[in-house]
Amino acid sequence: MLRMKVAAIAPALWAVVALTLGLSVSGCGGQESASQALDHALSQANVSKQSLGKFSGTVTIDGQPPGIKVYDKHRIIIMLYDPKNPPSDKNPILFVDCTPAPNDGAFEFSTYERGDGVPTGSYIALFEDMPTKWGSGYSGSDRFKNRFNDPDQNEKDPQFHVEVTEPGRTDWQFNLVTEGKDPPAAPGPKAVLRPTSK
């Protein structure tokens, strides 16, 4: 099983995004647009811009919206596991929380800009329901009891196969069935456990 920190975007991109947010370069035509600033920052960091596809939608539990509110002390986490490039400390897994408001299980992945998606490719969707602590990310254990965080198991269910192509989709729907589904006795060997930072 994989116990690791995870990040929504790769570490090298964090520096680029931070640089972009603080960049105010003026040229003949005035201040750069956000897109131009991003391209400039990527060029300065010698990082190639990846092809992205939108990846957003909703998660339900036993056919019902999860109903998580802003002040609830847990969040449903969606992770994208790349079987050809498994996560490691140098290759963090892509993840995002379900949005607490509205509490219908909506989620939206971002890489460079809000809602722009994730790098194109083939993934297996993984899920956890994690307790949260104010100011310290996630803590505790998966409230789904490891039912949906093992890529070997999720690969058997077609709904968890995710093909991201340009321009992507914003209507993904995942229904996590817990009723009548006993949790595993122990996490699988590839199970992704306890993301420790948002």
**More confident of the two residues 16 and 45:** 45
- Same-domain status, 55 and 133: yes
Partners of 126 in the beta sheet? 79
Global pTM?
0.80
Q: How confident is the model at residue 1 (pLDDT cuts 50, 70, 90)?
A: low
pLDDT of residue 29: 53
19 pLDDT more than 50: no
**More confident of the two residues 71 and 15:** 71
Q: How confident is the model at residue 13 (pLDDT cuts 50, 70, 90)?
A: low
- Same-domain status, 28 and 82: no
Distance CA 88, CA 74 (A): 25
| Domain assignment of residue 30, yes or no | yes
Neighbours of 149 (CB within 10 A): 27
Q: Is the CB of residue 125 less than 8 Å from the CB of residue 154?
A: yes
Q: Please report, to the nearest 10 degrees, the dihedral formed by the alpha carbons of residues 142, 68, 126, 172 taken in order.
A: 170
- Same-domain status, 106 and 187: yes
| Domain assignment of residue 198, yes or no | no
Query: To the nearest whole number, what is the mean pLDDT of the chain?
Result: 83
Dig out the tokens for 55 from the structure: 């990846």
**Residue 64 DSSP label:** B
**More confident of the two residues 6 and 34:** 34
- Please tell me the total count of domains within the chain: 2
- Same-domain status, 155 and 177: yes
Residue among 135, 155, 143 at smallest CA distance from 77: 143
- Same-domain status, 119 and 142: yes
pLDDT, one tens digit per residue, over 101-160 is 889 999 999 998 999 999 999 999 999 999 988 776 888 899 999 999 999 999 999 999
Residues of the domain holding 40:
12-44
| Domain assignment of residue 126, yes or no | yes
- Same-domain status, 6 and 31: no
| Domain assignment of residue 160, yes or no | yes
176 pLDDT more than 60: yes
pLDDT of residue 40: 65
- Same-domain status, 105 and 38: no
Which residues touch 51 (CB under 8 Å, ≥6 apart)? Answer: 119, 120, 166
- Same-domain status, 65 and 23: no
| Domain assignment of residue 31, yes or no | yes
List, as one string, the DSSP characters of 91-148. SPPEEEEPPSSS-S-EEE--SSSTT--EESEEEEEEEEEEEB-TTS-B-S--TTTTSS
